[in-house]
Structure 1
Amino acid sequence: MVTASDFWSFITPDNFGFPLFGNIVGDGLEWWQWALVLLDYTLKIIALGYVPSQRKPTSAMAWLLAIFLIPFAGVILFLFMGSPYINRRRHNIQNQANELIRTVSEDEPDVPDGFEVTDEIISMMHLNRHLTSMPAATGRLVALHSDYEQSIRAMADAVDHAENYVHVQIYITAWDDTTGVFFDALERAVQRGVKVRLMFDHVGSWKYPGYLKLGKRLTEIGVDWMVMLPLKPWRWRFRRPDLRNHRKILVVDGHTAFMGSQNMIDPSYLLPKNQKKGRHWIDVMVEVTGPIVMSLDAVFAVDWFTESKEELDLLSPSQATHWLNADTAPQVPDSGNEILQVVPSGPGFTTEPNLRLFTSVAHHAKEHLVLVSPYFVPDESLLDAVTTAAYRGVEVELFVSEKADQPIVDFAQSSYYAEMLEAGVRIHQYPYPAVLHSKFVIADAEVAIIGSSNMDMRSFGLNYEVTMLAGHGDLLDSMVELTETYRSTCTELTGEEWGNRPLMRRYVENVARLTSALQ
């Protein structure tokens, strides 16, 4: 017969996998060892009720697994990288900006007058406006730049025509032989009296050659520069170390803008291993004019204020009233023939606008759905939307790199291939050593989205991104043509080929898939 004394002597921490708490003294542990065990269990019980709050089940389960398997360290990681409260100031700034935009544009319709679009596209634009406050606007496509170095030259040429100001916001920025033409143009602009403001992500840029001298060089040519999301605790500038500002925006005088996927760095990213293997990045940038440019400028202005506390003039109500109305915007002589909508997203938003937009477009597709992304690590909603489209007869094509530049992401991404191939999704792989870094979606040649956002959980929840929605028009047509170019270059992955991969690779894929949910 088991007595109460036998029971309590059995459930010591050593019998439940806690041998690291030291030597047993007498009938049990030292008091401080029991205190550690009690604290560990207390933290785990609290985590069970706290971590799942307003968090996706997969993310919550991944964090709980980390907390339960790594005593104390898992809790510390969650507090630094999983808690939303560290970003309260940024949330507040974004909310205030949204209210300002909503106030000055309240009389504007969801869709500019004179455009006929389907009810489904109107619904998407209404959704985007509800989540970000940004209504649709008119614009004109100048060019879709898919040649890496030519794109940089085009941006430099636009800067050379600047008369008032230049706003640059690019995730990874490096001054090298390839990008020198752009920085030379910035220097010439400053010499003409143009105000040049430039932002780049701190963590995103610091690992590339020339970073330590970049700020000094920018100061020497007269550029007003800031790092985004600085990680400088010694200067009392600290934030979650896993957050990134991933946006790529260039605005010239409020009438010309570039946005897309390309960073301001050599296509090899200046890394010797890339140069040795011939690895280079394939990107795309959109150049537009018209009122839509002021929406992109607004995204820049919010981020500039967040980092510098300087309020730019275009954020004032007197300026903001001109954002969307071509008739009252003398700086925008051509309203354009496109209907476009800017969709910012990131930790400053609590509703994941980019994820909801990608999912909506996937559900919209009736005949053909194209997805292009270097990192395709979807959450359940996007995966279900894409595979459901395939199951209901939509031709779904996914374009990815044959080998991603980040091994963990490569394994996590490929863990989804089997179920997608089973659903009938065609997977096109851009040949190694190139990295297909473009990011866009096209549905039925009726609606397209393009920008900086990957289709992974990092871009949906941790990165500040900017995306543009386009209806019928030149931009969509150009994206369809670019897709044809990618298709002719890629090789298609077959289910039989994928089913023959080694068991060890499958194991690593599943582990990487689990860790991708740690947000």
Structure 2
Amino acid sequence: MGYKSAQKSTTATPRLKRIMLTLYFWITLCGYLVTLLLIPVLLLQKKRPVSTVAWLFLIVLAPYFGALFYVVFGVNRVQRRVRRKTVSDREISRLLPELTHYQLLPGEGLTTKQQNIVRLINRLSSTRPTINNRIELLNDTNQTLGLIEQAILAAEHSLHLEYYIWQMDRTGTRVRDLLIQKAHAGVTVRFLYDGIGSMFLSRKFLRPMIDAGIQVAAFLPGRSFRERWSINLRSHRKIVIVDGQIGFTGGMNIGDEYLGRNPQLGYWRDTHLKMQGPVVLQLQQVFAEDWFYAVGEELTQPALYPDPRISGDNIAQIVSSGPIDEFNSFHALFFAAIAKAEQNITMATSYFVPTEPLMAALTTAAFRGVKVRLLLSGRGAYRWMLYAGRGYYDELLDAGVEIFEYQKGLLHSKTLTIDGNWSLVGTANFDVRSLLLNFEVGVAVYDQEMARQLETAFEKDIASARVIDSESWENRGLGQRLSENLMKIFSPVL
């Protein structure tokens, strides 16, 4: 009996090997066929050359994984939706009220440097600088959430909220319940969330909002098979507008972790703005455009664009950006602001994966003698993004750029100051996704005091940061170098 079993085993083994070799042959052949089919498709896409090379490398190196990754993330399926968003934005902009009586006259109250940036933003955006704003810089997430909740409770007529991520935890539930409370009190509440960033929001969580009369909508929800292939087209905006009088925007989403309650991430360092004045009406327009695209409702009622009750000294304007822009507004704005800098550039960003033009702008500014300082996250939820950013350190250090990695917790701020008289605070990171793919929003402030406050916060933050110097960076391990350079290769597709 034992002899027969052994004989069967020896005859079965060669047969199994032949089957496995045949399967391996066909799997390999199919992989290369998929690669050969995708290469011409990739070459016909209107991508940046460096992005095309990165995709080619990934597809050839790992045919099945690379092909699947490219089909999901790389194929440009957003054009139809981009065209639809462009048309809807133009339509709602045509219907919205003119805010000319709040706009700054050309050249009024601005330095020559500031006027140069104004001309660029005017070309990139439909907004103009507005006067008489009161803008408060918020550097603590608990304080930020407290002010948002306070403003929600004081709402009399309307509440508009748009968020990339809204968690179903204690914080998300508490803010949701405040919205429900105001809806029961007769306040009109509209809630727009991103269909991918907040994809785990359940019907059970949203049902009490809907039952209370809150209008709830998802920005590109990804429910249909076709929409699931458009996951690159995301709204990364964080917007709160109360009665058209108070506005909030910045880097902070809604959830426990953004208050430092996630032990794995620790302290959460973020920057937000509280705004009052005409600039809030510009933020209202951004929300109205997104709402019209998602829902089809025209938010053109005069009551949504009231005369500001509060007057301040800040000159500011809203800058919005997205794949519908002809010139990628934030990318062009970052490039021009850095190129125009004469004295100093101070930037904080959670993700640093620059395009080639922006790297050239930063290094050239440093070569010109401009003091360039970057505060980047020393830890992150996405390790590969951290490695990709570090892949650019050598070139930056050689140019004389000062680099700091935040160590106290997770840095999530997105701020830029130029020459101590111009600032940008918003939702956009200094990476390919924020600058070229996402819908983002920011506030440009033409004010020395705001720049001073941001630079003071920067100095406080770098006290809790690791200084990256050329000598120690040269001595890092081989494994770290390999990880950084590998992720840098793929940075155009991250």
**TM > 0.5 between the two?**
yes
Query: 1:225: Cα distance to partner?
Result: 1.4
Task: Note the alpha carbon deviations across 1:200-250, whole angstroms, 9 max, x for none.
Answer: 22221245xx7563212433444221222212126x754512332110110
CA distance in 2, matches of 1:175, 1:35: 43
Shift of residue 74, structure 1, vs aligned partner: 4.7
Instruction: Give the share of equivalent positions with the same residue, in percent.
Output: 29
1:245 equivalent in structure 2: 235
Q: 1:138–1:338: 8 Å Cα contact kept in structure 2?
A: yes
1:44 pairs with one of 39, 44, 47? 39
What is the CA distance between 1:89 and its match in structure 2?
Answer: 3.0
- 1:260 matched to 2:235: no
Contact 1:98 1:132 in 2 (8 A): no
CA distance in 1, matches of 2:108, 2:197: 40
Structure 1 distance, partners of 2:150, 2:432, is 35
Aligned amino acid, residue 157 of structure 2: N
Q: Which runs of 5+ in 2 are unaligned?
A: 1-19
Question: Where does 1:337-356 land on structure 2 (aligned, <5 Å)?
Answer: 337-356=313-332
Q: Which amino acid in structure 2 is aligned with residue 500 of structure 1?
A: N
Alignment RMSD (CA, Å): 3.2
Partner Cα separation in structure 1 for residue 98 and residue 246 of structure 2: 25
- How far residue 73 of structure 1 moved from its aligned partner, in angstroms, is 6.4
Q: Structure 1 residues 43 and 161 mapped into 2: Cα distance closer, same or farther (>3 Å)?
A: closer
- Is 1:497 aligned with 2:469? no
User: Alpha carbons of 1:21 and 1:370: their partners in 2 closer, same or farther (altered >3 Å)?
Assistant: farther
* Distance in 2 between residues matched to 1:201 and 1:498, nearest whole Å: 39
1:400 aligns with 2:362: no
Superposition TM-score, scaled by structure 1 size:
0.82
**Distance (whole Å) between structure 1 residues aligned to residue 398 and residue 405 of structure 2:** 17
Structure 1, unmatched stretches of 5+, are: 1-19, 24-28, 324-328
Structure 2 counterpart of 1:214: 205
Distance 1:109 1:330, change over 3 A: closer
**Partner secondary structure for residue 134 of structure 2:** strand
Identify which range, 406-415 or 102-111, moves more after superposition.
Answer: 102-111
Asked whether the equivalents of residues 175 and 183 of structure 1 are also in contact (C-alpha less than 8 Å), the reply is no
Q: In the TM superposition, what is the alpha-carbon distance from 1:292 to its structure 2 partner?
A: 0.9
* DSSP 3-state at the match of 1:294: helix
Q: Is the 8 A contact 1:146 1:285 kept in 2?
A: yes
Quote the residue 1:66 is aligned against: 58
Match of 1:231 in 2: 222
Matches of 1:304 and 1:104, distance apart in 2:
13
Matched, 1:382 2:358: yes
How far, CA to CA, are the matches of 1:178 and 1:59 in structure 2?
Answer: 39
Assess if the C-alpha contact under 8 Å between 2:42 and 2:52 holds in 1.
no
Match of 1:118 in 2: 111
Return the offset for 1:256: 0.9
Once the two structures are superposed, what CA deviation does each residue of 1:460-483 show, in whole Å capped at 9, x if it has no partner?
Answer: 122211111111254333323322
Could you tell me which residue of structure 2 aligns to residue 148 of structure 1? 141
1:50-106 deviation digits (Å, cap 9, x = unpaired) = 13x3x2221121123334445576556444423334342343333442466379788
Alignment match, 1:462? 437
Q: State the shift of 1:111 in Å.
A: 6.1
- Which residue identity is paired with 2:283? L
Instruction: Please give the TM-score of this superposition, normalised by the length of structure 2.
Output: 0.86
Deviation at 1:384, TM superposition (A): 0.9
Any residues of structure 2 matched to 1:422-441 within 5 Å, and which? 422-432=398-408, 434-441=409-416
Aligned partner (choices 173, 183, 189) of residue 176 of structure 2: 183
CA distance change for structure 1 residues 269 and 391 in 2, over 3 Å: closer, same or farther?
A: same
Partner SS for 2:365: helix
Q: How many residue pairs are counted as aligned between the two chains? A: 474
- Residue number in structure 1 paired with 2:163: 170
Which residue of the partner structure matches residue 4 of structure 2? none
SS at match of 1:387: helix
Give the residue type in structure 1 aligned to 2:237: R
1:444 shift after superposition:
1.0
Where 1:286 maps in the other structure, the secondary structure is: strand
Describe the SS at the equivalent of 1:360: helix
Check if 1:488 corresponds to 2:463.
yes
Q: Deviations over 1:18-48 (max 9, x none)?
A: xx9969xxxxx99xx9999778646534543
- Native 8 Å contact 1:450 1:469 kept in 2: yes
Q: Is it true that 1:444 corresponds to 2:419 in the alignment?
A: yes
